[in-house]
Structure 1
Amino acid sequence: MSMTTQPTAGEGSHGALLEPPVLDVDPYSVENIQNPYLFFEELRETAAVVRLKPYGVYVTGRYEETKVVLNDHDRFMASAGIGIADIRKPGKFRIPNRLLENDPPGHTEIRKTLNKILSPLAVRRWRDHFETEAAIFADKVVEMGEFDGVEDLAEAYILHVFPEAVGVNLPRTEALAIGEMSFNQAGPYNDLFRAAEKKAEPYLEWYEKSVRREAMRPGSIGEMLFDAEERGEFEKGVASNICRAFVRGGTDTTIAGLGFALNQLARNPDQWAILKSNPSKFARNAFEEAIRHESPSYVNYRTTRRETELSGYRLGADTKIGIFSGCANRDPRFWENPEKYDITRDIAGIHVAFGHGTHTCIGQMIARLEADCILRAFAERAVTLEPAGEPRYRIINQLHTLDYLPLKVTA
C-alpha cells in the first residue's frame, strides 16, 4: 500500500504552480521490480510528476513529460548521473559515463565522432555475419525442442555476436556479473546493490583489462574508438570509458528485449502467426513492440539545473527526477490499447525504450540488427512456439529483465 499527499498551490518565480503530490512507495522493492505495473499505473494516474517520499526525488511516468525531461538538457542535466545518486556530491562520486552522463556541448562532440563510427553503413556491414550466426543458434534451439529463451537463445546469441563487433571479450559469467553490478549501482545503496557488488568482485580485474586498447579486436568498434582518440577526436580516456560502458551494459537491454519478445510471442499465438506469415517484415517490429510493452530500462534520472516547472508543477533546483520509460510506454494518454502486445504497431522512433532526444541510445542500430536477425531466423525454423512453464524475472535495481524463460518449440 502507498499513501499519496495531494498537491497544493505554491508560489515561485514562475507564478502560481502546484507542488507535486508525494507518493509513499518504493519502486526498488523486490515486489515492484518484479512486477512494476501496479506501481506504474498509480504513478501515472496520481499526477504528471510526483515526489517519492522514500528518496526525496521527483519522478514521472507519463509519455509527454518523459520526452520533455529527456530532451531538455538546458533544464534537466545528465552530468549529475543517470542513477538516483548525485555523482557530484561528497561520498557519491564515481567516474561518469562520458557519453550518457555528459551534456552538450561536451556530449555533442563525442556523439559526433561516435555517429561516424556507428553509421548505418558501418552497422549494415555486420548483417551477413549476424545472419549466419543467427541461423546456427536458431537451428540449435529448435532441435532442442524445449529450451530456456534467456540463456539458450537471447544470451547465447547476443554474447556471441556483440563482442565480435565491438571488440570486447564478454564471457557470459563475467559480463552478466559486471552488468548486474552496474545496473544495481544506478539505484539506491540497498541489499540488491551490495549483493551485486560482492558477486562482481572476482571479475573486477578482468573488467579493467578488458577495456584497454590491447584487448580490442582488430577492425572492431573498440579499436576505432582508440584510433579516434589518438587522432585527437576524443579527450584522453574517452575511448576506454565508452568501451567500459559496452561491458557494463551493452548487451543486457538487448537480451532483455529479446526475452520479452519470445515470451509474448509464445503467449500470443495470433502474434506468432503474424510473425510466421512474414518474418522479414515483422521480426524487427516484434522486438520494438517487446521493448515498448516491457521496457528493459527501468528508470533513468536527470537533475534539475534550477527551479523550474513541468506540466504546471513546481520543481525545486538541483533535485533528481526519474523517468520510468516502461511506464511512459504504456501511457494510455498516448498509446491505444497499451497493455496489448501487437507487432503490427509501427512504433520505431516513437517509443522511449531507447531514450529520446540528445541521449538516444547510440547502440540502438546494433540492437535492432541483432534482434531482427535472430527473431527472423527463429521464426523461419520453428512451426509452433508455446510456454513450457512460468518465466522468472531477475531482480535488479535499474534493469527490467527475465532470468528464466522455459519455451517449447516444434521444427
Structure 2
Amino acid sequence: MSASSEAAATLDPPVFDWDPWTIENLTDPYPMHHAMRETGPIVWLSKYDMYAVARHEECSTVLSDNSRFMTGAGTSMQDIRKPGKFRIPSRLQEVDPPKHTEIRAVVNRVMSPLVIRKMRDFFEIQAASMAEEVLERGEMEAVEDLIEPYVISAFPAAVGVKLERKAALTIAEMRFNQSCPHNELYHKAMAKAEPYLEWYDRACERDAVVPDSIAHLLFQAEDAGELEEGVASNITRSFVGGGVDSTISAIGHTLHHLARNPDQYALVKSDLKKVRPAFEEGIRMDMPFQYTWRTTIRDTNFGDYRLAGDTKVTVLLGSANRDPRRWDDPDRYDISRQTVGNYLGFGVGDHKCVGQMIARLEADAILTALISRAASMELAEEPVYRPVNQMRMLGRLPLRFTRG
C-alpha cells in the first residue's frame, strides 16, 4: 500500500451493535449478515472489541494479506498469545509464513492427488451400500441415518484415525464452540467433551493410526526430520477436530437445497457430472465454517479506515458467500453458477483448506449414490438447525425419496 493511501485513511470503522452469537443469529444469520454488509466494508463489533468484515472483497483481502493480518494469534476469537488465553496452536492453521509454507509443503506432498484418488473406490462402496439401505425406507432423517455414519466410516480410510462416532462428533462440537465467545453453548460443549478428551489424544498418536494412511505418512515425515517433533500428531488432531463436522454440514446443506429445488435436482439427476457444482453451490449458500479470525500485525489502513494493531478481525465467510456485490441473486440456489474459484468455501491464499480434496471426494460419492438411485427427493418435514458458535449445522433433515 502506498504512503499516500496510508495517509488518506482518517476514519474509524462504524460501530455494529448486533451480537453474532445469539441463538437467533446462529440459527438464521442472514438478516444480521445483510445489516453488517450495509453498515460498512469493515465494522467494529462493540460487544467484543474487535473488527469484522462481511463483504466478499474485504473478507478475501483479510484472509490473503499476511503482511497485515496474521494467523499466529489464533484463528479463533481468543488471542492465544495472551495470558489466560493460551492454547497449543494448530501447526497447520495457526502458523504464519515462512514456517507455515514449510509445513504446508510437506502436508501437500503427503496428501497428493494420487493418494487422495486411491480413496475413491472405498468411498463409493460405502456410499452405495448406505444409499441402498436408506432408500429402501422411502423416508429418512438424513443427518443421523446417512450423513454422520457415512462420514464417520469414510474418515479412517481417508486420514487414518479410527473414529468412535459419539466421541468424534462431541470433540468436533467442542472445537467449534471453543473458538467463539465463552457462552452457554461453549460451556455445555466443554462439559460434554470432557469424557472423550483422553480418547482424542490417544487416537491421534502414532501407534493408533492406520498404517499407510495420511496420518501415518505424516509421522514418517516427522521421523525423517521434515516436520518438527509433535507436528504430526498436532495436524492429525486438526483433521479430526475440523474435518468431520464440516463435511457433514456441507453434504447436509447440499441435500437440503436440492430437496427444496426440484428443478435443480432434476438437472443433477439428468447429468451426474453436475453433482460437484451442486455441492459447491450448497456450500456457498450455507457455509459450514461461518467465522474465522485474523489479527492485525500493526496499525494499518483498510481503505478509508484506520485499524489498530494487535486487534482481532472477525471474517464472516457465510456472509461473503451471499454478498450481492459479488453474486447476482445470491440467495438463490443455482448449480449453473460459477462458484468454484469465486467463493470462500475452502478458504483463500496460503491457508486454503488442505482437506478439500477429501471432502469433495466424500461428497461426490454419497451424493452420486443417492441421486442415481432416487427419481425425486423432497423434504418430509422442515429441517432443524443445531446452534454451534462457529458453524452452520443441520440438526435434523427429514427427507422423502422416490426410487428410480
State the AA in 1 paired with 2:376.
T
User: Does 2:301 match 1:309?
Assistant: yes
1:93: which partner in 2? 86
User: 2:313 pairs with 293, 311, 321, which one?
Assistant: 321
| CA shift for structure 1 position 225 | 0.5
User: 1:253 pairs with 215, 237, 246, which one?
Assistant: 246
Q: Structure 2 CA distance, aligned partners of 1:17 and 1:295?
A: 34
State the AA in 1 paired with 2:304.
G
User: Does 2:404 match 1:408?
Assistant: no
Please give the secondary structure, in 1, of the residue aligned with 2:136. helix
State the AA in 2 paired with 1:396.
V
User: Does 2:172 match 1:179?
Assistant: yes
2:359: which partner in 1? 367
CA contact (8 A) 1:386 1:408 kept: yes
| CA shift for structure 1 position 13 | 6.1
User: Does 2:146 match 1:153?
Assistant: yes
| CA shift for structure 1 position 349 | 2.2
| CA shift for structure 1 position 17 | 2.3
1:266: which partner in 2? 259
2:11: which partner in 1? 18
216-225 vs 125-134, greater mean Cα deviation:
125-134
For structure 2, the residue ranges without an aligned partner over 5 or more in a row are: none
User: Does 2:281 match 1:286?
Assistant: no
Structure 1 13/283 Cα, relative in aligned 2: closer, same or farther at 3 Å? closer
CA contact (8 A) 1:14 1:308 kept: no
1:344: which partner in 2? 336
User: Does 2:131 match 1:138?
Assistant: yes
User: Does 2:115 match 1:115?
Assistant: no
1:7: which partner in 2? none
2:379: which partner in 1? 387
Q: Structure 2 CA distance, aligned partners of 1:115 and 1:13?
A: 37
Q: Structure 1 CA distance, aligned partners of 2:144 and 2:64?
A: 35
User: Does 2:207 match 1:201?
Assistant: no
Please give the secondary structure, in 1, of the residue aligned with 2:207. helix
Q: Structure 1 CA distance, aligned partners of 2:6 and 2:32?
A: 32
| CA shift for structure 1 position 191 | 0.9
160-169 vs 77-86, greater mean Cα deviation:
160-169
Please give the secondary structure, in 1, of the residue aligned with 2:247. helix
| CA shift for structure 1 position 375 | 0.6
CA contact (8 A) 2:8 2:304 kept: no
Query: Could you tell me the TM-score, scaled by structure 1's length?
Result: 0.96
Q: Structure 1 CA distance, aligned partners of 2:281 and 2:172?
A: 24
Query: Could you tell me the TM-score, scaled by structure 2's length?
Result: 0.97
68-77 vs 349-358, greater mean Cα deviation:
349-358
1:215: which partner in 2? 208
| CA shift for structure 1 position 21 | 0.4
The 5 Å alignment of 1:28-39 reads 28-39=21-32
2:324: which partner in 1? 332
Structure 1 16/115 Cα, relative in aligned 2: closer, same or farther at 3 Å? closer
CA contact (8 A) 1:65 1:311 kept: no
Q: Structure 2 CA distance, aligned partners of 1:115 and 1:17?
A: 42
Please give the secondary structure, in 2, of the residue aligned with 1:14. helix
39-48 vs 309-318, greater mean Cα deviation:
309-318
State the AA in 2 paired with 1:209.
R
State the AA in 2 paired with 1:402.
L
State the AA in 1 paired with 2:347.
G
Q: Structure 2 CA distance, aligned partners of 1:149 and 1:346?
A: 27
| CA shift for structure 1 position 174 | 0.4
288-297 vs 144-153, greater mean Cα deviation:
144-153
Q: Structure 2 CA distance, aligned partners of 1:348 and 1:206?
A: 37
CA contact (8 A) 1:166 1:221 kept: yes
CA contact (8 A) 1:163 1:169 kept: yes
CA contact (8 A) 1:302 1:322 kept: yes
Please give the secondary structure, in 2, of the residue aligned with 1:361. coil
User: 1:378 pairs with 362, 370, 378, which one?
Assistant: 370
CA contact (8 A) 2:9 2:305 kept: no
Q: Structure 2 CA distance, aligned partners of 1:191 and 1:70?
A: 29
- In the comparison of the two structures, how many residue pairs are matched? 400
- CA deviations over 1:54-81 (Å, ceiling 9, x no partner): 1011001101111110001110000100
CA contact (8 A) 1:59 1:323 kept: yes
State the AA in 2 paired with 1:370.
E
- CA deviations over 1:245-279 (Å, ceiling 9, x no partner): 11212111111010001111111110110110111
State the AA in 2 paired with 1:166.
V
State the AA in 1 paired with 2:283.
I
